[in-house]
Amino acid sequence: MKTPSGWVGALALASAAWSTQAAEIELEGNRLLVNGMLDGRSMKAFAEHLASGKVRTVVFENSFGGTAEAAVDFARAIRASGVNTEAKGQCHAACAYAFLAGKEHRFGRGFQVNALLIPVAARPRPEELASRWRGEEANRTLAELTAAPSEAGAERWQPDHGVLFTSTPTLFGHIYNSFYCDGTQGRDTSRCEVLSDADPYKLGVLTP
């Protein structure tokens, strides 16, 4: 069962409604909330919270991207601390790779549409999908996107070009869909190509 195009198109409207300000960091109990762009300006505060040992889960909410360098830094800090991650609402580009670095990584509960847009250098082959985002493979893919020389890495890092995983709430539970976005769609993700046999749980993008 596929997500209605209206739901996917709504992601574009949602993204336009959020600014590109630096991520805001807030600790609530053992959950560290991260809201906004991951561009490095909040990295120091983020790392300090993780170093405190109080954080069990990092929650990314409506983060529409960030730099490749920030993706590396946030992912490294999360992986080193061994915390879980959760994506609530939109989690694109740098946020997606930081999310994948969690020991366990899940979509947030609730009636919002959750979407994870993972940048890739080229359209993944079917056989690649099965392992690309499991364990260290996600880290290797990120390393390929940021490999020297920096100019080449910058060309490969295209936040709107990647694989999009969505979770849409219905009266009968959530419907999961996967898409390939070639970058020409901009924020209109309804123009992305539907991928068959790309369940995010089977691919390791989401953990049970």
pLDDT at position 149, please? 47
pLDDT at position 140, please? 82
Distance of alpha carbon 185 from alpha carbon 120, whole angstroms: 15
pLDDT at position 8, please? 45
Residue 132: helix, strand or coil by DSSP? coil
45-65: pLDDT as tens digits:
999 999 999 999 999 999 988
Residue among 123, 105, 131 at smallest CA distance from 182: 123
pLDDT at position 154, please? 52
pLDDT at position 155, please? 64
pLDDT at position 16, please? 39
Residue among 76, 84, 35 at smallest CA distance from 55: 84
Evaluate whether the domain defined by 5-194 bears CATH number 1.10.3470. Answer: no
Q: Which residues of the chain have pLDDT under 70?
A: 1-20, 147-155
Distance of alpha carbon 141 from alpha carbon 122, whole angstroms: 11
Dihedral sign, Cα of residue 24, residue 185, residue 162, residue 67: negative
181: tokens are 């976005």
22: tokens are 């630096």
Bridge partners of residue 115, in order along the sequence: 90, 166
pLDDT at position 92, please? 93
pTM: 0.85
